[in-house]
A and B are shown apart, each in its own frame.
Chain A
Amino acid sequence: MSGRRREEKESTARPAPAPGEGAVWYSDDPRDIGWVRENIPCQSACPAGTNIPGYIQAIMEEEYGRAYEINREANVLPGILGRVCSRPCEDVCRHAQPGNGETVNICHLKRAASDLKHVGHRITESLYGPSGKRVAIVGAGPAGVAAAHDLSLLGHDVTIFERESDPGGMLRYGIPAFRLPRDILQVELHNALRLGVELRTGVEIGTGEGQVPLARLRKDFDAVLLSTGSMAPVTLPLNAGPGKDDPESIEGVEYGLYWLMGSHRGETKSVGRRVAVVGAGFTALDCARVARRLGAEEVTIHIRTAEEYIPVTKDEIFECKREGIRIKGLRSPSQLSVGDDGRLRGVEFVQNRLGGWRDNGRRQAIPIEGSEFFEPCDTLLIAIGQRTVNDYLDVKLELDRWGSVKAAESGHTSKKGVFAAGDYVTGPTTIIEAVGNGRRIAAGIDTWLMGRQRRRQVVRIEPVAGPPRERSFDFIERQHMPTAALGERSRDLENEVETGYDEALAATESKRCYLCNLKYQIDVDNCIYCRACIEVAPKNCIKLVEGIEIREDGTYGKLVETSEWDEVGAIWIDNNECIRCGACFMVCPTKCISITRNEFVTQDI
């Protein structure tokens, strides 16, 4: 255990008061900060760091407006993300660990907070005084909007330049309205930008006629943030014979991203009777569902690996299939077949087998030589990924080997005063990642502009009088999202498919959350080692330990367990195993178990 020391008594910045004492305190102790990071898996997995147990408990208490505000502290677009988030939080939910059942519907509850809050709900935000600094943001997608919100809240004058006629980026031009209604989008974008952000739409950055050069922005503003996303499709090197190397030149073949963007700009789109979609992300699924609504009789999504390994939610896959869309795996397109009339006849695929894991966590697909087969179709939509575009830059910025702008952790590029955020830097990710990244870079810009860090994260620790959960809550089944009947969906691009939880469903689902922000602790000075808590615990969560390791960074490390009584230094609640059922608290004869609620909050420095 070199470099580490043992600690026999759990401690925070100050000892926990007796239950019900009611005092709240704030801690920057690395043990407390580390505890919150490691014991609340959903919050740690959320790229925006949303206080998920906090808002779910507010829903449990029917405080929907408060739940919405807790969400909004980390993510300014809760009603939007409550509909279209990729849900990395649900993948790590403690309720889904072996033996614990199914994940909590965290995302549906986020939407419930938005849907069920009072119609007259007022947003409350603490504003900083004017800084006198001006920031230009290029691109009004999720990263740009999130950054604009935070920078305006911090007192800076923010102007967004957006080339499209309306803000939202991929939210508006990539995602169909049946997944993200435009009135919800409009309201939340408005609320994010309401603190004096100037929005200039229809303005392109570049050196062409009528365009605004980046160099000019840099001159007119104290800082510039580039957040133009990944708004171009990755091309697929398919050909249909000699001289037909560009798939888009073939009638019936389109890139899915441009096809969706065109549709959302109001262009009329049509498809053939049989539609093939190549790709495995949300854009591919959206293309398929739009094609079905435009009247395609057979829609098939062709994927390189298998359903299990594609980066979309299970709910989206299910709804696709419900709408009659097929998903066929282990195949890659190899060639197009075009008829004498120049129209697409179909696609030749090659059979794949699964390979190893790629660096990005996705599976490899390995084509099998000689396994080509043909699938007829009238329309092919290609949606195999997106990429960033830098052709508007008139200022030389250092790029990485993928052609994305190189940026430091603070978002600063190689050009002083020019920052970059979101998919424009990271390559295509998810909306919640873009929002989280946009906010982090906004903090970096603020520090650079003001010459010092003005805010920091600490842990707010609040005593809790008793367990807010009952053991019976652990056996509640996952509550499914109600959806529109199939008959109401066909040929309608506006009608929202998921109709949202009502209060009863939200209340039931919220009870399923373990509330992992609750920390159960045993006061070893008052413990009589009767083992009653160990006997009653439904999990292997209460342990006899010699001590606990403290890592180099000051956070808690591994428990040093023992079964020998003469080596026991403490009886310890392992909060990684604990499902916060409260059984130990209820059975303790000496009342030596305390509960605290531990949450990150931001403080001024």
Chain B
Amino acid sequence: MKIYNRYFVTVAIVLLSTTVILIAAGQTSLDIFYSIFVIEALIVTELFVYFNKKSRRVLNIVGVMLFGGFGIVLCIQVLKALLIF
């Protein structure tokens, strides 16, 4: 059970630290915030290699959902860039 708590605390610390750092850096684009959050969440999940099969499966589903959102953000940005040109 301890590994789940450690995993969640790690994700929470990483995401909240990123929020503080990006705000301090004057970042206002939500796309950037979301993209970095997703990448960080996926990296932390990959670092916890000793999860059992069931945990990995459910976290993979969350990863796919988040990555789907990342894809949408990316598509919107590409469309915006295409419309400008």
Q: Do A and B bind each other?
A: no
